[in-house]
Amino acid sequence: MGDLSGRTALVTGASRGIGRAIAERLAADGARVAVHYGGNEAAAKETVAAIGEERAFAVRADLSTPDAVDTLFARLDEEFDGLDILVNNAAIATSSDFENTTSEEFERIFTVNVQAPFFITQRALSRLRDGGRIVNISSGVTRIAMPEIITYSMTKGALDTFSRTLAQQLGPRGITVNTVAPGIIDTDVNASWLRGNPEAEAAAAARAALGRVGRPEDVADVVAFIASDDARWITADWIDVTGGSDL
């Protein structure tokens, strides 16, 4: 474990799945964590309870709404006097194929997956201490073509570009900006087609060189490393956490 004692962290979309695992790991390493959630208050409370109220608190903000950033930072400023780690994890994780995507769906996904992390990061910069960490959670779909979720893939491609460009801008402050790109992970988002379906699980596992479906902890451990002092000389990187999928 890295030593994040005395550090503060904001993890968006942290009530379930990958975000929860990240929040729990950062807290285990010593950080105090703001557990952002969009609507599932019960899940957010479970995450805070699992971590412990001395290390975590929940903050609600619907990232699809215009006042989301104001709402988020009003609560953060009540608890933190500065920020050390920002993990932009929250995202709408599915989309229609090209022929069936509507303008409403396109706008909604880009609002949550691209606009929200852009303006959350913009607002965070005045609070982020020099030497801080920004970690953006992208996806292996920016490397692997998946036409069935083309809009989602496009949003993650935008996030990749955002990370690399921001790394250049923030380098003089010693702030690193990196992208972590998971593959197929066993979370609630994928539960409907993955869990309890041996054929689907076997097919998903077969795509990975390491021969299994990923777990949230597989991603969280990489994020924890990037957030630690051990990763001080890594920035503008795109880290593949797909288990070697579709090589």
User: Using one digit for the tens of pLDDT, what is the confidence trace for 156-196?
Assistant: 999 999 999 999 999 999 999 999 999 999 988 787 778 88
pLDDT of residue 173: 98
Q: Which of 152, 154, 218, 224 is catalytic?
A: 152
Say what angle helices 150-170 and 103-110 make with each other, to 10 degrees. 30
Q: What are the helix and strand counts (H, E) for the chain? A: 9, 7
Query: DSSP strand E in 116-192: where?
Result: 128-137, 176-182
Cα–Cα dist 127/110, whole Å: 25
Model confidence over 203-230: pLDDT tens digits? 999 999 999 999 999 999 999 999 999 9
Q: Catalytic site residue 37?
A: no
Positive/negative CA dihedral, 34, 78, 7, 116: positive
Using CA atoms, how far apart are residues 149 and 170, in angstroms rounded to an integer?
Answer: 32
The two three-digit tokens of residue 223, written as one number: 């994020």
pLDDT at 9: 98
Domain 8-189+216-241: give its CATH superfamily: NAD(P)-binding Rossmann-like Domain (3.40.50.720)
End-to-end CA distance of the chain: 30
Domain residue limits, the chain: 8-189+216-241
Residue 1: predicted pLDDT? 61
Q: Under 8 Å CB-to-CB from 203, ≥6 apart: which residues?
A: none
Token readout for 53 is 């109220």
* DSSP conformational letter for 208: B
Per residue of the chain (247 residues), what is the pLDDT tens digit? 679 999 999 999 999 999 999 999 999 999 999 999 999 999 999 999 999 999 999 999 999 999 999 999 999 999 999 999 999 999 998 889 999 999 999 999 999 999 999 999 999 999 999 999 999 999 999 999 999 999 999 999 999 999 999 999 999 999 999 999 999 999 887 877 788 888 889 999 999 999 999 999 999 999 999 999 999 999 999 999 999 999 9
pLDDT for residue 189: 78
